[in-house]
Amino acid sequence: MKKKNIILLIPILVLMVFGSLIVKFAKTSYTSLNLPAFAPKGFVFFLAWTIFYLILYYSACKTIETINIKNRLFQLYNLIFVFQFLWLILFFCFSFYLVSLFCLIVLYFISVSYVYLLSKSNVKLAYLNVFYLIWLLFAFLLNLSIMILN
């Protein structure tokens, strides 16, 4: 595996390991919340996020030429994972549903910027990432519903 690909994989692995620990040991478990009728089971999230992280990783590997702090696509790619991690902490550790909702809004706009910039390099990969944007909208709706119900 190329050094570039390993560097791009690190944020995903960190997020998945620590994110799983946060969800497992958080003071509020997903199943203990008042959930809306459209809320999926917990395992669906693990599966969906894994798929979307792999899509983000694959897209980054195909389009990011050099790992450079000044590379805008690389910056946005990393910011996506920073805000994903921040959302997990805000939502599960602190039950700050309103603040986590704003975090999702910021994450959505970062992700839109990432997909837009990606489209300049590879339109097909950008279209593949549109599903991630749709999933983020669903996560926003779910977060909002949980905030209202709890």
Q: Report the C-alpha gap between 142 and 104 in whole angstroms.
A: 11
The helix (H) or strand (E) run that includes residue 19 is: helix 3-25
Mean pLDDT (the chain) is 93
H-helix segments, the chain? 3-25, 42-63, 72-88, 97-121, 123-149
- The pLDDT assigned to 1 comes to 67
C-alpha 10: how far from chain center: 14
Structural domain tally of the chain? 1
Phi and psi angles of residue 39, each rounded to the nearest 5 degrees, phi first: -70, 125
- The pLDDT assigned to 81 comes to 97
Q: What is the pLDDT of residues 62-106, one digit of tens each?
A: 998 878 888 999 999 999 999 999 999 999 999 999 999 999 999
Q: Does pTM surpass 0.85?
A: yes
Q: Report the C-alpha gap between 87 and 65 in whole angstroms.
A: 29
| Domain span at 9 | 3-149
Tokens 């599903």 — which residue?
A: 131
